[in-house]
A and B are shown apart, each in its own frame.
Chain A
């Protein structure tokens, strides 16, 4: 089955800096890659996603890049703010098993004021 590895497990940055979280996946048939943000004690919430026919997608301060050849994708957060502090999860799924997401282990992002 699919295996998703996420790095780093923890990331600490100063407010205003950029943060990058990287994920690799094992199944070349995976074609959908969402990112979720989970604040303490709350549900995971989708913040951005990318499909395999696109190499990059941006939404204000967050962007995701996908390298299908290398089977890795990354989340980029620019101009970080304290409210960006949370656990971030990447995930991958295949169209044939639609919706069956395999999640990475998560990255605890701390943004220091």
Chain B
């Protein structure tokens, strides 16, 4: 398996533009997570899905952020309109069902470095 795949790796956009980040989880993983990483706030959970259904979106900073998971192999995180303070590295991660000894922990994607100018 190629692991969790995120695209793009880097994104530079102007303030006010829409940004869409993409994630392909590991095949068979039932949980998908979106994290944001900044120096000031560390790793913050934004939202997570179980079987394509959003379970907890309490970490989504505001209405400008939205996430979808239309099927088991694809998820998007959208920011509209983007602002400079959204600049961060956005990680997607996936994991097995509870109790699966092989991978109780997450597997992270390589991340998308977003810069909003």
Contacts and interface: CB of A to CB of B under 8 A. Distances in A.
Contact of A43 (B48, B50, B91, B95): B91
Contacts of B104: 32, 34, 49, 51
Interface stretch (A21-29, A56-64, A100-108): A100-108
A44 B4 CA distance: 12
A101 B111 CA distance: 17
B42 A99 contact: no
Nearest to B109: A43
Interface in A66-113: 89, 95, 97-106
B15 interface: no
B33 interface: yes
A99 B108 CA distance: 13
A98 B105 contact: no
Query: Residue among B43, B50, B56 with the most chain A CB within 10 A?
Result: B43
Interface string B90-117: 0100010010000011111111000000
B56 A97 contact: yes
A95 B111 contact: no
A55 B105 CA distance: 18
Interface of B is mostly: strand
B31 interface: yes
Interface residues of A, number: 21
The interface size bin for chain B is 10 to 19
Given A98-B98, A100-B56, A101-B45, A44 B108 contact: yes
Given A32-B104, A49-B105, A89-B43, A99 B33 contact: yes
Contacts of B110: 42-43
Contacts of A43: 91, 108-111
Interface of B: 31, 33, 42-43, 45, 48, 50, 56, 91, 95, 98, 104-111
Given A43-B109, A100-B45, 9 more contacts: A43-B110, A43-B111, A46-B105, A46-B106, A89-B42, A95-B98, A99-B95, A100-B56, A103-B43
